[in-house]
Amino acid sequence: MAQWRKVVVSGSTAEFNHVSASGNLVPVTTNLSSLGTSTLNFSDLFLDSGAVVNFNSGDMTLTHASNEVQVDGGDLVVEGTNKIGFGGAPSTDYIQKSTDVKIVAAADVEINAGGGNVKPSANDGSALGVAGTGWSDLFLAEGAVINWDSGDFTATQAGNLLTLTGGNTRVDRLEVDSANDYIDVDTDLKVVANANISLEPSHSVLLGDYRISGSAASTGSFGYLNVYGDGVIGGNLTFGDAATDSVTFSADIDSNLIPNVDDSYDLGSASQAWQDLFIEGDITLTDAGSVKATAGNLTVDSEAATLVLDGHTGVDIDASNSGKVTIDGAGGIDIGVAADVAVDFDAAAFDLDASGALTIDSATSISLGTTADVAWDIDTSTLDIDASGAVTIDTSAGGVSIDAAAASNFSTAAGALLLHGAGGINIGTTADVAFDIDTSTLDIDSSGAITIDSTSTILISGDGGATFSDDTEAIIYDGSGNLDIDSVALDIDSSGAITIDGTSSLSIDVDAASNFNTSAGDITIDSEAGSVNIDGGESAANAIKIVASHGAGGIDIDAGSAGINVDSTGGITVGGTNATGVTLGKSDTTVTVAGSLDVNGTVTTIDSANTYIADKFMIIASGSLSDTDGGILIQNAAGAGYALGYDSGVDRWAFDADLAHNATNIGPDAYVGVIETGTGHGDSQAVPIYGGTTNGVGTIYIDTDAGDQGIWIYS
């Protein structure tokens, strides 16, 4: 059977004048050898600090530690009436047994119990003092507790107060402060006081099923009053004497809640408001008042029926501070339908806006803006003014402005449309907007020069083509403005070079696929002062693609000292479709991965002279879901090599001299030795178990205890 082994070297029986031992002196047989005899005694025994005198293989020990000798494992017995003395001989401080055990001290006897208690050997088995021999006085510290029957009843002192807890206290007569103030029983319970009796409870006074009556003229106060049953209190009631007091109703109120004085008291305050108010009935204000919300919106909602606002002299809805008044109805808004009354809108600005048709109808006539000289604004999706006669817009001062956000028509069914101004006709000068003339024939006839001038773009377009030439010259545009060519198709063909040059930006925008190619030479896009931005659209189908479609073509991206930044809010894939290999960097450069690196594949190969890993720990077989073998293999042949690995079957590290590179389990040729240390004896150590009861063979244990050092090997 495997066990801990130790080699012991000893000599033969001999007599030595002076013995020096570097190890232990061990007898050959237990209880067969002694130090000295009854006639030949050793003079003195010198033991070092922490030395142990060991009896019966540790059954009882005498241990030196910090200027004291500790007895462990058995009793220390003094025979007869001999004393255990303290402080020299003859000692006046000693422990002695005659009939009783006596502790004699020249001064006081001090007991310092590490557990904090001095207790008898058995419950209810000992007393302090006996009849005729009692203790004089008992001194207890602040907060001391006298404890009866394991806490069933206690007397506790704290802060000049003695508290009795756990049971009743019975006295013949309880005197308080003097013989003139006491509680006594003489058939009835008597409370006798030399002066008045004042009840000042800190909690409650419970009256039970009885009543307490007194004079209506007397006064007094209770800290807490608890009445069981019904209670009727006549006179005025005052609850609380400070804002920190509170009144709690656990019952319903079965009467009206009416203030004592009209128009004097509030429900809640600005800083302490009630939460919700539930009422069935009316709210009547006997005087002028208001309903308002000091923070947030004020919502008046009638969930089941119509909300009616009825004012005897009128209803005023006014946002006087800020904001506006909004009236909205899911089924529509009716004003003035209940009674045939006048409706008057008077405002600095009146905005009438409708997403559908707007109808203003009157049996007589319609007048707008005659009562007060104010601005009039009509804002609607469509405004249709239709008259069987003439439509006249006339102003006595100022101008007439017609402004539309979309294309507009000014036409007549018969006759010419005349624009005439005494000072001239200006079109498009008030606002910088586009001016479009669309007609079957445009005839601009002038007795003088015709000038078309613009601080921006001049656009001339013709669906059937446009000719800008005379018999001798082609059109030459030489101006400081822009040239805008808008056409169904634009074909610029030149036998020589085409140059587009400008001091500002160049924008080419098309709605279909486009080609930029040369039959010879390179295409160069150069931005000397800024960046070159290529945008592939918002959807994944509109991605930017740089394709070398020719068989021998390639893509070369080269940048200066600012580097190349490839960034995306989605994933970035290099060589994910057709690539046969991906190379990052070159042999004399360093490739840096700032974040985590996840390599997925069958084989990961690192071809470098040295591999530096800054992590303190490496995780191998991180994808395993249960115990598995793993380790490091040094190749010595094709597909195999020397391995240092972990054998999960026995929970030990092992060596395998010929392990295949694709092996899933290690075949141990030898195990890694294990060294354990401790201060206990080697034979007392537990059996080393690593996956099985025999797998600990070869474990080395080193006892570092100064008194019994040794080396054990488990075999």
DSSP assigned state of 198: -
State the pLDDT at residue 84: 82
State the pLDDT at residue 428: 65
pLDDT at 647 over 70: yes
**Poorest-pLDDT segment among 131-135, 464-468, 609-613:** 464-468
CA proximity to 484, closest of 507, 464, 503, 514: 507
Count how many Cα atoms sit within 13 Å of the Cα of residue 329 in the half-sphere of its side chain: 7
State the pLDDT at residue 395: 77
State the pLDDT at residue 216: 46
Reduced to 3 states (helix: H, G, I; strand: E, B; else coil), residue 165 is strand
State the pLDDT at residue 643: 92
Could you tell me where the beta strands, DSSP code E, fall in 91-217? 93-97, 101-104, 145-148, 153-157, 162-165, 173-176, 178-186, 188-192, 205-206
Q: CA-CA distance, 361 to 363, in Å (whole number)?
A: 7
State the pLDDT at residue 656: 93
**Per residue in 492-537, pLDDT tens?**
877 778 888 777 778 888 878 888 888 787 888 887 777 788 877 6
Q: CA-CA distance, 482 to 455, in Å (whole number)?
A: 9
Distance of CA 100 to the CA centre of its chain: 71
- Reported as a pLDDT band with limits 50, 70 and 90, residue 238 is confident
CA proximity to 276, closest of 268, 288, 284: 268
pLDDT at 287 over 90: no
pLDDT at 9 over 50: no
* Model pTM above 0.75: no
Higher-pLDDT residue of 471 and 574 is 574
DSSP assigned state of 541: G
State the pLDDT at residue 123: 87
Average per-residue pLDDT in the chain? 79
Q: CA-CA distance, 64 to 573, in Å (whole number)?
A: 75
Cβ neighbours of 656 (radius 10 Å): 23
Q: CA-CA distance, 81 to 101, in Å (whole number)?
A: 10
pLDDT at 135 over 70: yes
Average pLDDT over residues 685-692: 75
Lookup: tokens for 446: 């002038």
Higher-pLDDT residue of 700 and 468 is 700
State the pLDDT at residue 655: 92
Q: CA-CA distance, 398 to 17, in Å (whole number)?
A: 141
Q: Using alpha carbons, list the distances in angstroms from residue 380 to 374, 384, 410.
A: 19, 10, 19
Top-ranked range on mean pLDDT: pick from 16-25, 353-362, 391-400, 605-614: 605-614
**Per residue in 649-684, pLDDT tens?**
888 889 999 999 888 899 999 888 888 888 887 777
Q: Note whether 60 and 73 are within 8 A (CB).
A: yes
Q: Using alpha carbons, list the distances in angstroms from residue 406 to 379, 415, 435, 559.
A: 15, 25, 12, 49
Reduced to 3 states (helix: H, G, I; strand: E, B; else coil), residue 684 is helix
Q: CA-CA distance, 462 to 396, in Å (whole number)?
A: 42
State the pLDDT at residue 220: 56
Average pLDDT over residues 566-578: 83
Reduced to 3 states (helix: H, G, I; strand: E, B; else coil), residue 706 is coil
Looking at the chain, how many residues does it have? 715
Q: Note whether 372 and 346 are within 8 A (CB).
A: yes
Count how many Cα atoms sit within 13 Å of the Cα of residue 218 in the half-sphere of its side chain: 7
Lookup: tokens for 50: 């922490």
CA proximity to 714, closest of 671, 675, 680, 669: 675
∠ Cα 175 180 183 (to 5°): 40
DSSP assigned state of 683: G
Cβ neighbours of 685 (radius 10 Å): 16
pLDDT at 412 over 90: no
State the distance between the two ends of the chain, measured CA to CA, in whole angstroms.
8
**Poorest-pLDDT segment among 219-233, 309-323, 589-603, 666-680:** 219-233
**Per residue in 179-205, pLDDT tens?**
899 999 988 888 888 888 777 666 556
Cβ neighbours of 4 (radius 10 Å): 19
CA proximity to 57, closest of 686, 505, 683: 683
Q: What percent of the chain has pLDDT over 90?
A: 5
Average pLDDT over residues 460-473: 52
pLDDT at 467 over 60: no
Query: What amino acid occupies position 627?
Result: D
* 481: phi then psi, degrees, rounded to nearest 5: -95, -165
State the pLDDT at residue 157: 92
pLDDT at 337 over 70: no
* 181: phi then psi, degrees, rounded to nearest 5: -125, 115
Query: What amino acid occupies position 149?
Result: D
- Reported as a pLDDT band with limits 50, 70 and 90, residue 618 is confident
Q: CA-CA distance, 9 to 26, in Å (whole number)?
A: 10
Average pLDDT over residues 429-451: 71
Q: Note whether 410 and 417 are within 8 A (CB).
A: yes
Lookup: tokens for 328: 């909205």
Lookup: tokens for 405: 């956000």
- Reported as a pLDDT band with limits 50, 70 and 90, residue 333 is confident
H or E stretch covering 22? none
Q: Using alpha carbons, list the distances in angstroms from residue 613 to 209, 618, 622, 632, 696.
A: 86, 9, 17, 15, 33
Average pLDDT over residues 387-404: 78
Average pLDDT over residues 116-131: 86
State the pLDDT at residue 475: 45
Lookup: tokens for 247: 């009144």
State the pLDDT at residue 424: 75
State the pLDDT at residue 339: 62
Q: CA-CA distance, 69 to 621, in Å (whole number)?
A: 56
* 682: phi then psi, degrees, rounded to nearest 5: -60, -40
Composition of the chain by helix, strand, coil, percent to 5: 0, 15, 85
Burial 625-654, CB ≥16 within 10 A → b, else e? eeeebbbebeeeeeebbbbebbbbebebbb
